[in-house]
Amino acid sequence: MAEFDIKVVIVEPGVIKTGFGDGATETIIKRSTGGLYGRMVQMVAKSIKSTYGHGTGSDPQVIADVVSKAVASSHPRTRYAIGKFAKMLIRMRVWLGDRLFDRIILSQTR
Protein backbone atom coordinates (compact mmCIF):
# COMPACT_ATOMS: atom_id res chain seq x y z
CA MET A 1 0.00 0.00 0.00
CA ALA A 2 3.06 2.24 0.33
CA GLU A 3 2.92 2.86 -3.42
CA PHE A 4 -0.38 4.65 -2.81
CA ASP A 5 0.90 6.44 0.34
CA ILE A 6 -1.41 4.35 2.51
CA LYS A 7 -0.05 3.33 5.90
CA VAL A 8 -1.19 -0.08 7.08
CA VAL A 9 -1.47 -0.62 10.83
CA ILE A 10 -2.25 -3.87 12.61
CA VAL A 11 -4.19 -3.71 15.87
CA GLU A 12 -3.92 -7.00 17.75
CA PRO A 13 -6.41 -6.97 20.59
CA GLY A 14 -6.08 -9.18 23.61
CA VAL A 15 -9.09 -10.14 25.67
CA ILE A 16 -11.55 -7.26 25.44
CA LYS A 17 -14.84 -6.98 27.35
CA THR A 18 -17.34 -7.36 24.50
CA GLY A 19 -20.12 -9.75 23.57
CA PHE A 20 -17.62 -11.89 21.65
CA GLY A 21 -17.46 -14.69 24.22
CA ASP A 22 -21.22 -15.13 24.41
CA GLY A 23 -21.71 -14.76 20.66
CA ALA A 24 -18.92 -17.17 19.80
CA THR A 25 -20.02 -19.86 22.23
CA GLU A 26 -23.69 -19.66 21.27
CA THR A 27 -22.84 -20.01 17.59
CA ILE A 28 -20.45 -22.95 17.87
CA ILE A 29 -22.72 -24.80 20.29
CA LYS A 30 -25.76 -24.31 18.06
CA ARG A 31 -23.93 -25.48 14.93
CA SER A 32 -21.69 -28.25 16.22
CA THR A 33 -22.84 -29.80 19.50
CA GLY A 34 -24.57 -32.82 17.96
CA GLY A 35 -21.82 -33.57 15.44
CA LEU A 36 -18.51 -35.36 15.54
CA TYR A 37 -16.91 -32.39 17.25
CA GLY A 38 -19.56 -32.08 19.96
CA ARG A 39 -17.28 -32.90 22.90
CA MET A 40 -14.54 -30.59 21.66
CA VAL A 41 -17.07 -27.80 21.02
CA GLN A 42 -18.28 -28.02 24.63
CA MET A 43 -14.68 -27.75 25.89
CA VAL A 44 -13.88 -24.81 23.60
CA ALA A 45 -17.10 -23.04 24.67
CA LYS A 46 -16.16 -23.54 28.33
CA SER A 47 -12.69 -22.14 27.70
CA ILE A 48 -14.06 -19.11 25.84
CA LYS A 49 -16.53 -18.38 28.64
CA SER A 50 -13.81 -18.55 31.29
CA THR A 51 -11.49 -16.32 29.25
CA TYR A 52 -14.05 -13.68 28.33
CA GLY A 53 -16.32 -13.81 31.35
CA HIS A 54 -16.20 -12.39 34.85
CA GLY A 55 -14.65 -9.04 33.93
CA THR A 56 -11.35 -10.56 32.85
CA GLY A 57 -10.93 -8.44 29.71
CA SER A 58 -9.79 -4.92 29.05
CA ASP A 59 -12.25 -2.13 28.51
CA PRO A 60 -13.06 -1.65 24.79
CA GLN A 61 -11.96 1.97 25.15
CA VAL A 62 -8.30 0.84 25.03
CA ILE A 63 -8.85 -0.30 21.44
CA ALA A 64 -10.65 2.92 20.48
CA ASP A 65 -7.79 4.93 22.01
CA VAL A 66 -5.06 3.07 20.13
CA VAL A 67 -6.96 3.31 16.83
CA SER A 68 -7.39 7.07 17.38
CA LYS A 69 -3.69 7.38 18.20
CA ALA A 70 -2.68 5.48 15.04
CA VAL A 71 -5.00 7.50 12.82
CA ALA A 72 -3.77 10.81 14.24
CA SER A 73 -0.08 9.89 13.91
CA SER A 74 1.90 10.90 10.86
CA HIS A 75 4.19 7.93 11.56
CA PRO A 76 2.09 5.23 13.25
CA ARG A 77 3.68 2.03 14.46
CA THR A 78 3.14 -0.98 12.23
CA ARG A 79 1.69 -3.07 15.03
CA TYR A 80 -0.22 -2.27 18.20
CA ALA A 81 -0.75 -5.13 20.66
CA ILE A 82 -3.27 -3.85 23.17
CA GLY A 83 -5.53 -5.27 25.84
CA LYS A 84 -5.18 -8.03 28.38
CA PHE A 85 -2.86 -10.86 27.32
CA ALA A 86 -2.15 -9.37 23.85
CA LYS A 87 1.59 -8.85 24.27
CA MET A 88 2.04 -12.03 26.29
CA LEU A 89 0.37 -14.17 23.62
CA ILE A 90 2.46 -12.63 20.85
CA ARG A 91 5.67 -13.22 22.80
CA MET A 92 4.65 -16.80 23.59
CA ARG A 93 3.98 -17.54 19.93
CA VAL A 94 7.37 -16.12 18.89
CA TRP A 95 9.34 -17.91 21.62
CA LEU A 96 7.57 -21.24 21.43
CA GLY A 97 6.89 -21.48 17.72
CA ASP A 98 3.53 -22.22 16.14
CA ARG A 99 3.27 -25.94 16.92
CA LEU A 100 4.01 -25.71 20.63
CA PHE A 101 1.94 -22.55 21.00
CA ASP A 102 -1.03 -24.26 19.33
CA ARG A 103 -0.62 -27.29 21.59
CA ILE A 104 -0.69 -25.08 24.67
CA ILE A 105 -3.77 -23.20 23.48
CA LEU A 106 -5.55 -26.46 22.66
CA SER A 107 -4.64 -27.90 26.06
CA GLN A 108 -6.79 -25.17 27.62
CA THR A 109 -9.88 -26.77 26.10
CA ARG A 110 -9.40 -30.10 27.88
41-67 tens-digit pLDDT: 888 888 777 777 666 789 999 999 999
Q: Please report whether residue 29 resides in a domain.
A: yes
Query: pLDDT tens digit string along 69-101?
Result: 999 999 999 999 999 889 988 888 889 888 988
Give CA separation, 14 vs 4, 23, 78, 82, 90, in Å: 30, 17, 17, 6, 10
Q: Please report whether residue 74 resides in a domain.
A: yes
Please count the structural domains in the chain.
1
Of residues 105 and 84, more confidence is placed in 84
Range of the domain at 48: 10-107
- pTM: predicted TM-score of the whole model, two decimal places: 0.69
Cβ pair 75, 10 in contact under 8 A = no
In angstroms, the CA 105 to CA 11 distance is: 21
Q: Please report whether residue 1 resides in a domain.
A: no
Helices (H), 2-60: 20-32, 38-52
Q: Please report whether residue 69 resides in a domain.
A: yes
- Single-letter code of the amino acid located at 106: L
Of residues 89 and 105, more confidence is placed in 89
Q: Please report whether residue 4 resides in a domain.
A: no
Cβ pair 82, 64 in contact under 8 A = no
| Residues 101, 104, 105: CA angle, nearest 5 degrees | 85
Q: Please report whether residue 2 resides in a domain.
A: no
Q: Please report whether residue 65 resides in a domain.
A: yes
Q: Please report whether residue 3 resides in a domain.
A: no
* pLDDT score at 62: 95
